[in-house]
Homo-oligomer: A and B are copies of this chain.
Amino acid sequence: MKIRVIIPNASVAFLRTQIEERRWAAGHGVEVSTVCLPSGPVSLESGVDDALVAVPLLQEARKAERDGCAAIVIDCAADPSVRAVREYVSIPVVSAGEAAFQYALGLGDRFSVVTVLPNTARLIEERLRMYGLLLRVASVRYADVPVLGLEDMALAGERILEQARRAIDTDGADVIVLGCTGMSPVARRLQENLEVPVVDPAMAALTLAESLVRMGLTHSRRCYPVPPAKEVVGEPQLKWEY
């Protein structure tokens, strides 16, 4: 089973730190190939970033399907362009935020998300409302560390831990969902320091993708119909094909 993990940003440096991480997380018999985008912002933290990655993300998704992948992971907790990608390909499309929320639902009554920046927190809140899950959310918090600042594990870990602690003690969270796939290394340390389950969205997404393939499930075409074909004007969209 081949699974393509698409990191929806254009940072090759960031990509390098994630490749082993994803390979390690893959199940038996799963071949994971992790890519980032050829163009776009070097991290996804805001609605603007979300907009900027849309086209290259669709292109990478189509490429993954053509490469014979069994499933696609959108490796970002802000779930960029999920609807578009599901319309555009027929193999299962799993996104890291949504996957983490799905697992969190079975672990406690209420989860909190701890993400990187204010913009990201707002994006995630919007998704949670869109998913109709607000009754199960204690809070969405941010550590005020940019994605690329997560490399400084000592500082980032401290700040994330502090927000997770408040989510539990003040907001009543039963479960912590990390709100950025770049937080995987922190996840383990956090789990050792917190008495509640900590869901790593990168691992959640990969696991969910494998599971769907094994169960023979993909997204509903009633909900994500094939998009109507049409003329697309200009570059680089000119070569676009639905």
CB distance from A56 to the nearest CB of B (A): 8
CA–CA, A173 to B11, complex, Å? 35
The reply to whether A109 and B223 form a contact with Cβ atoms under 8 Å apart is yes
Copies of this protein chain in the complex:
6
B28 touches A84 (CB 8 A): no
Question: What residue in chain B is nearest A56 (Cβ atoms)?
Answer: B234
Determine if A199 and B220 form an interchain contact, defined as CB atoms under 8 angstroms apart: no
**Contact of A119 with B227 in the complex, beta carbons under 8 Å:** yes
Chain B nearest CB, measured from A175 CB (Å): 5
Q: How far is the CB of A220 from chain B (nearest CB, A)?
A: 4
| Contact residue among B52, B199, B215 (Cβ-Cβ distance under 8 Å from A54) | B52
Residues of the B chain whose Cβ atoms lie less than 8 Å from the Cβ of A240: 41, 52
Contacts of A207 in B (CB 8 A): 211, 214-215
Q: How many residues of A contact B (CB 8 A)?
A: 99
Complex Cα distance A218/B195, Å? 11
B52 near A223: Cβ-Cβ < 8 Å? no
Q: Are B174 and A222 in contact (CB under 8 A)?
A: yes
Separation of A110 and B122 alpha carbons in the complex (Å): 11
Q: Mark contacts of A12-54 with chain B using CB atoms, 8 A cut-off: 1 yes-contact digit, 0 otherwise.
A: 0000000000000001110000000111111101111111101
* Residues in chain B near residue A84, CB distance under 8 A: 46-48, 50-51
Pairwise interchain contact A108-B219, C-beta atoms closer than 8 A: yes
Q: Which residue of B lies closest to A195 (CB)?
A: B221
Select which of B50, B99, B117, B225 is within 8 A of A106 by beta carbon.
B99
| A171 CB → nearest B CB, Å | 11
A223/B108 in contact, CB under 8 A: yes
The residues of B that contact A237 with a CB separation of less than 8 Å are 39-41, 52
Complex A-B, nearest 7 residue pairs according to Cβ-Cβ distance, in ascending order: A39-B234, A132-B135, A46-B227, A108-B220, A108-B223, A51-B54, A47-B83
Besides A47-B83, A52-B54, A119-B228, 15 more A-B contacts (Cβ < 8 Å) are A11-B233, A27-B27, A27-B28, A40-B233, A41-B237, A51-B57, A52-B55, A54-B55, A107-B217, A108-B224, A110-B223, A132-B133, A146-B228, A195-B222, A203-B215
